[in-house]
Protein backbone atom coordinates (compact mmCIF):
# COMPACT_ATOMS: atom_id res chain seq x y z
CA UNK A 1 0.00 0.00 0.00
CA UNK A 2 1.04 3.58 -0.62
CA UNK A 3 2.48 5.37 2.37
CA UNK A 4 0.63 8.33 3.75
CA UNK A 5 2.08 10.70 6.32
CA UNK A 6 0.43 12.87 8.95
CA UNK A 7 1.91 15.17 11.55
CA UNK A 8 0.33 15.97 14.88
CA UNK A 9 1.24 17.50 18.18
CA UNK A 10 3.67 15.55 20.30
CA UNK A 11 2.22 14.91 23.74
CA UNK A 12 4.74 12.20 24.64
CA UNK A 13 7.38 11.43 22.00
CA UNK A 14 8.74 8.08 20.95
CA UNK A 15 9.48 5.80 18.04
CA UNK A 16 6.96 3.03 17.62
CA UNK A 17 6.30 0.60 14.81
CA UNK A 18 3.40 -1.79 14.67
CA UNK A 19 -0.13 -2.28 13.43
CA UNK A 20 -3.00 0.12 13.86
CA UNK A 21 -5.95 -0.58 16.13
CA UNK A 22 -8.66 1.75 14.93
CA UNK A 23 -11.82 3.10 16.53
CA UNK A 24 -13.67 5.86 14.80
CA UNK A 25 -15.95 6.03 17.80
CA UNK A 26 -14.61 7.82 20.85
CA UNK A 27 -12.68 5.40 23.01
CA UNK A 28 -14.33 4.85 26.38
CA UNK A 29 -11.27 4.01 28.42
CA UNK A 30 -12.73 2.54 31.57
CA UNK A 31 -15.53 0.94 29.56
CA UNK A 32 -12.97 -0.82 27.36
CA UNK A 33 -10.74 -2.39 30.03
CA UNK A 34 -13.38 -3.69 32.43
CA UNK A 35 -12.20 -7.27 32.36
CA UNK A 36 -8.74 -6.08 33.35
CA UNK A 37 -9.92 -3.50 35.85
CA UNK A 38 -12.44 -5.62 37.70
CA UNK A 39 -11.69 -9.25 36.99
CA UNK A 40 -7.94 -9.06 37.35
CA UNK A 41 -7.13 -10.27 33.86
CA UNK A 42 -3.55 -9.53 32.84
CA UNK A 43 -2.82 -11.82 29.90
CA UNK A 44 -4.90 -9.90 27.36
CA UNK A 45 -7.29 -6.98 27.12
CA UNK A 46 -10.44 -7.87 25.22
CA UNK A 47 -12.29 -4.61 24.64
CA UNK A 48 -15.37 -4.69 26.84
CA UNK A 49 -17.10 -1.61 25.48
CA UNK A 50 -20.14 -3.16 23.81
CA UNK A 51 -21.06 0.15 22.20
CA UNK A 52 -17.78 0.20 20.28
CA UNK A 53 -18.55 -2.03 17.32
CA UNK A 54 -15.03 -1.72 15.90
CA UNK A 55 -13.15 -2.89 18.96
CA UNK A 56 -15.60 -4.87 21.08
CA UNK A 57 -14.07 -8.24 21.90
CA UNK A 58 -10.75 -7.51 20.17
CA UNK A 59 -7.54 -7.72 22.17
CA UNK A 60 -6.32 -4.16 22.66
CA UNK A 61 -3.37 -5.07 24.87
CA UNK A 62 -0.28 -3.20 23.70
CA UNK A 63 -2.22 -1.58 20.89
CA UNK A 64 -1.41 1.47 18.83
CA UNK A 65 -4.80 3.04 19.35
CA UNK A 66 -6.00 5.33 16.56
CA UNK A 67 -9.00 7.21 17.93
CA UNK A 68 -10.71 10.59 17.81
CA UNK A 69 -10.62 11.16 21.56
CA UNK A 70 -11.48 9.34 24.76
CA UNK A 71 -14.71 9.66 26.71
CA UNK A 72 -16.21 8.31 29.86
CA UNK A 73 -15.72 8.37 33.57
CA UNK A 74 -13.12 10.70 35.06
CA UNK A 75 -11.56 7.43 36.24
CA UNK A 76 -10.44 7.01 32.61
CA UNK A 77 -7.06 8.64 33.12
CA UNK A 78 -6.34 6.50 36.12
CA UNK A 79 -7.43 3.46 34.15
CA UNK A 80 -4.79 4.14 31.50
CA UNK A 81 -2.16 4.38 34.20
CA UNK A 82 -3.39 1.19 35.82
CA UNK A 83 -3.59 -0.77 32.58
CA UNK A 84 -0.06 0.26 31.62
CA UNK A 85 1.16 -0.88 35.03
CA UNK A 86 -0.33 -4.36 34.65
CA UNK A 87 1.03 -4.71 31.13
CA UNK A 88 -2.08 -4.40 29.00
CA UNK A 89 -2.13 -0.66 28.35
CA UNK A 90 -1.66 0.82 24.89
CA UNK A 91 1.76 1.13 23.35
CA UNK A 92 0.73 4.36 21.68
CA UNK A 93 -2.31 6.61 21.38
CA UNK A 94 -2.92 8.58 18.19
CA UNK A 95 -5.71 11.14 18.39
CA UNK A 96 -7.27 12.76 15.37
CA UNK A 97 -8.66 15.53 17.62
CA UNK A 98 -7.11 17.43 20.53
CA UNK A 99 -6.48 15.11 23.42
CA UNK A 100 -9.08 15.24 26.21
CA UNK A 101 -8.21 15.95 29.83
CA UNK A 102 -8.86 12.39 30.97
CA UNK A 103 -6.44 10.73 28.56
CA UNK A 104 -3.92 13.51 29.04
CA UNK A 105 -3.88 12.96 32.79
CA UNK A 106 -3.51 9.21 32.34
CA UNK A 107 -0.60 9.24 29.93
CA UNK A 108 1.21 11.97 31.88
CA UNK A 109 0.78 10.29 35.27
CA UNK A 110 1.96 6.94 33.87
CA UNK A 111 4.96 8.58 32.25
CA UNK A 112 6.07 10.89 35.02
CA UNK A 113 5.26 8.74 38.03
CA UNK A 114 5.69 5.17 36.77
CA UNK A 115 8.12 5.77 33.91
CA UNK A 116 5.80 3.84 31.65
CA UNK A 117 5.46 5.70 28.39
CA UNK A 118 2.46 5.60 26.15
CA UNK A 119 3.70 7.41 23.06
CA UNK A 120 1.01 9.98 22.40
CA UNK A 121 0.32 12.23 19.41
CA UNK A 122 -2.84 14.29 19.05
CA UNK A 123 -4.38 16.72 16.51
CA UNK A 124 -3.58 14.41 13.61
CA UNK A 125 -6.74 15.58 11.85
CA UNK A 126 -9.93 13.94 10.68
CA UNK A 127 -8.25 12.69 7.48
CA UNK A 128 -5.91 10.56 9.57
CA UNK A 129 -8.79 8.62 11.02
CA UNK A 130 -10.52 8.40 7.65
CA UNK A 131 -7.35 6.94 6.15
CA UNK A 132 -6.06 4.48 8.69
CA UNK A 133 -7.55 0.99 8.65
CA UNK A 134 -7.48 -1.76 11.24
CA UNK A 135 -4.18 -3.64 10.95
CA UNK A 136 -2.42 -1.09 8.76
CA UNK A 137 1.34 -0.94 9.32
CA UNK A 138 2.07 2.24 11.20
CA UNK A 139 5.25 4.06 12.21
CA UNK A 140 5.40 6.87 14.74
CA UNK A 141 8.40 9.18 14.74
CA UNK A 142 9.77 11.32 17.55
CA UNK A 143 8.67 14.56 15.87
CA UNK A 144 5.00 13.57 15.78
CA UNK A 145 5.02 12.29 12.23
CA UNK A 146 2.88 9.22 11.69
CA UNK A 147 3.31 7.04 8.61
CA UNK A 148 0.59 4.70 7.51
CA UNK A 149 1.54 1.92 5.11
Partner 1 sequence: MTTQTVPDKLSDPGAYDTVHCDQFGIDHEGKPIADHLTGTGSDAGLKEHDPDNPHKMTLTQEEQDILNGSQGPVMAKVLKTIVMHGELFGAERLADCGGAPHTSLYTGSPWVAPVLEMFEEIADAGLKAFAPYTVNPMPLDLYTVGQDPVKRTMELETYSLQGRLIGVHTRLGAVPLNMWSCACYLPEVGNTAEPGTVVTWAESSAVNYGNSVLGLRINRMATGMEVLCGIAGKVPVFGVLTDEGRKAKWHIDVRLSQEPHWGALGGAIGTKVVEQIPYITGIDQWIGMEDGKPDLVAMGKLKAMGSATASSGAVGLYHVENVTPEAIEHGRNLLVDDYQTYVIDDAEYKRVRDTFENRWKDPNGDPTAVYIGCPHNTYQEMVYWSKKFDQALREKGQEKFAIPVVMAQPPVVRDKLLDEHPILYRDMLRAGAQFTTICTPAFQGLKGMADIDRGVTNSNKARFYSRLRLYGDDDLVQIALTGKVPY
Residues of this chain that bind partner 1 (CB under 8 A): 7-11, 25-26, 28, 30-31, 34-43, 48-52, 56, 68-69, 71-79, 81-86, 97-102, 104-106, 108-110, 112-114, 122-123, 143-144
- As measured in angstroms, the least distance from the Cβ of 39 to partner 1 is 4
Q: Which is nearer to partner 1, 1 or 113 (CB)?
A: 113
Nearer to partner 1, 69 or 139 (CB): 69
Q: Which residues of 25-44 are buried (b: 16+ CB within 10 A; e: fewer)?
A: ebbbbbbbbbebbeeebeee
Burial class of residue 8, CB neighbours in 10 A (0-12, 13-18, 19+): buried
The residue among 52 and 131 lying less far from partner 1, judged by its C-beta, is 52
Contact 11, 104 (CB under 8 A): yes
Closer Cβ to partner 1, 14 or 26, answer by number? 26
Q: What angle do CA 12, 16, 21 make, to 5 degrees?
A: 95
Closest approach of partner 1 to the CB of residue 90, in Å? 15
Q: Nearest distance from residue 13's CB to partner 1, in Å?
A: 11
Beta strand ranges found along 54-131 (DSSP E): 64-67, 70-71, 92-95, 119-122
**Shortest Å, Cβ 116 to partner 1:** 9
**Rounded least distance, CB 101 to partner 1, Å:** 4
CA distance 103 to 69: 8
Q: Which is nearer to partner 1, 2 or 43 (CB)?
A: 43
Amino acid sequence: MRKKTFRGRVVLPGKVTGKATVSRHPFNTSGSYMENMFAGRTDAAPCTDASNKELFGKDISGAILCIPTTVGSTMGGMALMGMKAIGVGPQAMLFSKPIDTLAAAGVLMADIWKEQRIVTIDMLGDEFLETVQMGDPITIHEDGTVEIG
